[in-house]
Amino acid sequence: MQAAAMDPAEEPPSMLWGLDPVFSAFARLYIRDILQMTESIQVPGVYFYNLHPIYKVDVLGTVVYKRERDDFFCYGVDDGTGVINCLCWKSDLLKEAEDPSQAGGKHSDGAQAGFNPAAELKKLRQMQQKSCHLEIGELLRVRGSVKTSRQQREIKASTYYKVNDPVMAAQIVWMMEVPQLYRQCYDKPFQLKADGAGNSVSSLSKATNIIKDFLKEKCVTRFRPYDVQDLLQPLICSQPQTASADQEPVAGPSACQQLRQLLKEALQVLHDEGVVYRRVKSQEEVYHVTAQDKDLLMAIKDIIREDSKREKFAEKGCHVLHILSAVRQRHSLNVSRAALELVLKSLECNSDIISTSDSHYTVF
C-alpha cells in the first residue's frame, strides 16, 4: 500500500485535526508507509497518510540491528515492508538494575522470613531488563512518536518490550488486524462531512487554501485583507440555500457580512499556522507573508549567528525560546512561535543553520 502523495495546499488546517480519531490513537501502520508519510508544513513532527494526521504509531517487527548507549537502545525493526530505527530510552529502574553497586547478596538472609521485598524487587528488575534487552532476530513491539532526525525517519518509543511468540500467534493476530484497519480507516481519506456545520468548516479550509495558493503563486510579501477578499467570493456564492421557495425568508447575515467573517477566520488560521503575521498592529491591517519576509529571515539568521558565539550557547546553540524573545525585541513584538519555526525550518533546509536538538539551533 502506497502512502498518498499530498499537495501541501490540500493539507487540512491544524485546528481540525482533532476531528479525526486517528490523530489521538497509536496508528498501526506498515513501516513502509511510516517512512513515506508526508510531513506537515504547519506543525513539524506531524505526518499525513491519506490526509489522516499522525504523530504516534504502533509497530511490531523483528530486530535486525541494535546499538546500546548509557541511556538508550537503538533497535532496527523490520516488519517485512521496511526497516525503521527505534530509539528506546532506558527507565531508571532498568539503569539501577545494570548498576554493579546495586548487585550483591546482602539481602539473601531475608529469604528465611518468607516474602522478601528486596528479593522480589530484584526479580522484577531482572525481568524488566530481560524484556528490554533484545538480540537480533527477536520480536519487538514499539509504541511512540514519529520524528525525523538527520533526514532519517525514526520512532521515539514511549513503550517497548520483547514479544515472546514461539508459535507466531502474536504475529498472526497482527497480520490479520492491520489490513482490516487499513480497509476500514487508514485507506479512507479524512473528509469533513458536508452537513450544516461541515459546510462552514469546509468553506474555511477552502478559503485558507485559496489564500495560500495566491500568496505562493504571486510571491506576495505583504497584503491587506481587501487585496484577497474577492478571491473568496465564489465560496459565498456557491453556498446552498436552505430555505425553500414557499418559506418565509429568514433574517441572517448578508453575503457581504459572510464574506468578511470568512476572510477574518481564514486570516486567523493562517496567523495561527505562522504563514502570515502583522509586523505592526495598527488600524491599517497589513499582513506580512512569513516565508517571503527577507527582513525577518535576516533578523533570525543574525541572532543565531551572533548569539551562538556567546559562551552560554557555544555548546548546544540558541534555544528556540531565546530566539523568539530576541526576534520580538529586535524585529517585531507580534512574531509568533509558529512563524519563527517556519523560518527556522526554511533556514535549515537552505543549510544556513543547523539544529543540534529539537529546540536548539546554531550556525555551521
Same fold, 8-103+120-186 and 297-362: no
The amino acid present at 226, given as its one-letter code, is Y
d(CA 96, CA 10): 49
Determine the pLDDT at residue 7.
55
SS3 305: helix
- The percent helix, strand, coil of the chain (3-state, each to 5) is 45, 20, 35
Residue 238: per-residue pLDDT? 57
Architecture of domain 297-362: Orthogonal Bundle (1.10)
Dihedral angle computed from the Cα positions of residues 353, 277, 146 and 30, in that order, rounded to the nearest 10 degrees: -120
* CB contact at 8 A, 259 and 232: yes
Query: Nearest Cα to 144, choosing from 77, 235, 192, 49?
Result: 77
Q: What is the pLDDT along the chain (364 residues), one digit of tens a residue?
A: 444 445 555 778 888 888 888 999 999 999 999 999 989 888 888 999 988 999 999 999 999 999 988 888 899 999 999 999 999 888 765 555 555 454 444 444 444 557 788 788 777 777 766 667 788 999 999 999 999 888 889 999 998 888 999 999 999 999 999 999 999 899 988 765 544 444 545 788 888 999 999 998 889 999 999 999 898 888 886 555 444 444 444 445 678 888 888 899 899 999 999 999 999 888 788 999 999 999 999 999 999 999 988 888 888 899 999 999 999 999 999 999 999 999 998 898 888 898 888 788 998 7
CA distance 317 to 150: 17
For the domain with range 196-239+254-291, which CATH number is right: 1.10.10.980, 3.40.50.300, 3.50.50.60, 2.60.40.10? 1.10.10.980
Q: Can you tell me the distance from the alpha carbon of 78 to that of 84, in angstroms, rounded to the nearest whole number?
A: 7
Q: Which fold has domain 8-103+120-186?
A: OB fold (Dihydrolipoamide Acetyltransferase, E2P) (2.40.50)
CA-CA distances (angstroms) from residue 103 to 17, 22, 120? 49, 45, 14
Please check whether residue 142 is in contact with residue 160, taking contact to mean a CB–CB distance below 8 angstroms: yes
Domain boundaries, the chain: 8-103+120-186, 196-239+254-291, 297-362
| Inter-CA distances, 172 with 60, 162, 168, 176, Å | 11, 16, 6, 6
Provide the 10 A C-beta neighbour count for residue 339.
26
DSSP 15-64: GGGGGSGGGGS-B---HHHHHHPEEPSSSTT-EEETTEEE-EEEEEEEEE
